[in-house]
């Protein structure tokens, strides 16, 4: 505990706290039908295309950026505490900046290796399970909305295998805003954004036996 609270270990303590906070936030977001990881991926792709080489080396695309960030924070914190533990056992704690540099340099290749293991367990997105085009023609429920022609909301639906997916969606042109909880029909897709309309009455009414 003294090592964790020492000023020389501050960067590693901060990384550990950030890891715990991100884990809790992502779990809460998933319960609400929203993926923080997906939002970070979208923002990064839009704003940081110039870093494609580094991101590819770190296996962005194999796992979400949020997972990579969490791996880095965990490995950076663990490596830093190990360095400081060895330092204090042999002489004294290193200054935070001195310990942080080797911890950072060791963490990057470690993230690259561990992310490849994680990619075998955590699918990158829905397209790894089914083709995105398979969702067109399926019905689902609005979970984040209302859906309109502005910023995408979220709909929740099942694929042909019975697996649940949360997809980004907008209301079709000339469609009125669609409230949360409404059953919708996916009618089209533009890139990774799905276009939905309020489900026709025959989808909402159970068939007569």
Q: How far apart are CA 41 and CA 134, in angstroms?
A: 22
Q: What value does the mean pLDDT take over residues 162-170?
A: 84
The owner of tokens 């993230």 is: 111
pLDDT of residue 35: 66
Q: Are strands 164-171 and 193-198 parallel, antiparallel or unpaired?
A: parallel
Rounded-to-integer distance, Cα 60 and Cα 45, Å: 10
In degrees, rounded to 5, the angle at the alpha carbon of residue 34 between the alpha carbons of residues 176 and 13 is 150
DSSP 61-124: TTB-HHHHHHHHHHHHHHHHHHHHHHHHHHS-PPPHHHHHHHHHHHHHHHHHHHHHHHHTTS-S
Q: What pLDDT does residue 208 have? A: 43
Rg (CA), the chain: 22
Report pLDDT digits (tens) over 43-56.
554 444 444 445 55
- β-pairing, 153-158 with 193-198? unpaired
Tens of pLDDT, residue by residue over 62-104, are: 567 788 889 999 999 999 999 999 998 888 889 999 999 999 9
Answer whether residue 204 shows pLDDT above 60: no
Q: What pLDDT, on a 0 to 100 scale, did the predictor assign at position 184?
A: 93
Cβ contacts of residue 92 below 8 Å, gap of 6+? Answer: none
Question: In 10 A of CB 181, how many CB atoms?
Answer: 10
Q: What does the mean pLDDT of the chain come to?
A: 79
Q: What pLDDT score does 159 carry?
A: 80
Domains of the chain: 2-119 (no CATH), 130-204 (2.40.50.140)
Of 46, 27, 39, nearest in space to 65 by CA: 39
Tokens for 48, please give them.
Answer: 């940081």
Specify the pLDDT at position 200.
82
8 A C-beta contact, residue 183 and residue 197: no
Write the DSSP assignment of 151-192 as a string of letters. Answer: S-EEEEEE-TTS-EEEEEEEEPTTPPPB-TT-EEEEEEEETT
Tokens of 2: 């003294």
């Amino acid at each position: 505990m003294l090592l964790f609270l020492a000023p020389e270990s501050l960067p590693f303590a901060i990384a550990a706290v950030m890891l715990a906070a991100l884990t809790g936030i992502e779990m809460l977001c998933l319960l609400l039908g929203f993926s923080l990881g997906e939002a970070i991926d979208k923002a990064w792709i839009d704003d940081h295309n110039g870093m494609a080489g580094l991101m590819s080396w770190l296996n962005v695309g194999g796992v979400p950026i949020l997972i990579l960030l969490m791996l880095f924070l965990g490995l950076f914190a663990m490596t830093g505490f190990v360095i400081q533990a060895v330092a204090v056992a042999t002489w004294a704690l290193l200054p935070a900046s001195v310990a942080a540099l080797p911890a950072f340099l060791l963490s990057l290749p470690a993230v690259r290796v561990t992310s490849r293991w994680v990619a075998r367990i955590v699918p990158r997105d829905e397209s790894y399970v089914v083709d995105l085009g398979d969702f067109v023609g399926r019905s689902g429920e609005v979970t984040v909305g209302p859906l309109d022609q502005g910023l995408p909301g979220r709909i929740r639906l099942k694929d042909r295998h019975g697996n649940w997916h949360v997809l980004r969606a907008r209301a079709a042109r000339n469609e009125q805003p669609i409230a949360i909880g409404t059953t919708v029909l996916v009618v089209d897709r533009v890139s990774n954004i799905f276009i939905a309309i309020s489900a026709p009455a025959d989808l909402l009414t159970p068939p007569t036996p």
